[in-house]
């Protein structure tokens, strides 16, 4: 099941990655820290519970997160631009032990697979609805919900491709197989 997609909150107008140079960028993971480095921003580690205070005190002036986190942290009180980049869709997954699943009788296996398929469809629908709701709430509180320019989108795609290539170098053949299967979906 997906969570709402990630976008960029900033006080600045972003037409390209070059406009991100020097931002004080909330980094909450190695990946978001790497993004900051690649776009010329300064990564600042801030946990979700501390985002509001970090914005209020000027510790950060930009953030890549979802509409949900932006609303929960009252980002609209400090930052007025949200670029709906849909950078990634975090997902939750339920994993089942194959031996345990195989030990179930066929009707039970079928029931589990049916319930999983229904939950997946329901989850995507709810996520899409909630994403729209969060963005509407932010807009209602004075936030500008912006579609990224073609240049910003292309620049961010380059950042993502660089990070993927870096990961593939570390992951080797097994990692490449995972990406090949994913892209074949």
Please report the pLDDT score of residue 117 as a whole number. 96
Please report the pLDDT score of residue 185 as a whole number. 63
Please report the pLDDT score of residue 184 as a whole number. 84
Residue 152 near residue 81, CB atoms below 8 Å: no
Angstrom distances, CA of residue 132 to CA of 67, 138, 139? 9, 10, 10
Residue 82 near residue 7, CB atoms below 8 Å: yes
Q: What is the pLDDT of residues 62-86, one digit of tens each?
A: 999 999 999 999 999 999 999 999 9
Please report the pLDDT score of residue 182 as a whole number. 87
Q: What is the pLDDT of residues 93-139, one digit of tens each?
A: 889 999 999 999 999 999 999 999 999 999 999 999 999 999 999 99
- CATH 3.40.50.720: does it fit domain 6-183? no
Q: How many Cβ atoms are within 10 Å of 157's Cβ, its own excluded? A: 10
């Amino acid at each position: 099941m997906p969570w709402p997609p990630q976008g960029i909150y900033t006080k600045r107008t972003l037409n390209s990655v070059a406009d991100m140079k020097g931002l004080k960028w909330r980094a909450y993971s190695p990946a978001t820290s790497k993004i900051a480095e690649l776009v010329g921003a300064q990564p600042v580690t801030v946990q979700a519970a501390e985002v509001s205070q970090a914005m209020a005190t000027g510790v950060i002036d930009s953030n890549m997160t979802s509409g949900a986190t932006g609303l929960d942290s009252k980002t609209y009180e400090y930052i007025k631009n949200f670029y709906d980049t849909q950078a990634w869709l975090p997902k939750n997954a339920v994993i089942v032990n194959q031996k345990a699943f195989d030990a179930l009788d066929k009707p039970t296996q079928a029931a589990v697979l049916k319930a999983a398929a229904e939950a997946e469809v329901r989850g995507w629908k709810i996520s899409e609805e909630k994403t729209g709701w969060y963005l509407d709430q932010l807009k209602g509180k004075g936030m500008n919900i912006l579609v990224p320019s073609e240049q910003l989108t292309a620049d961010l795609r380059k950042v993502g491709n660089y990070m993927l290539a870096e990961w593939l170098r570390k992951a080797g053949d097994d990692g490449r197989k995972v990406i090949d299967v994913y892209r074949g979906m």
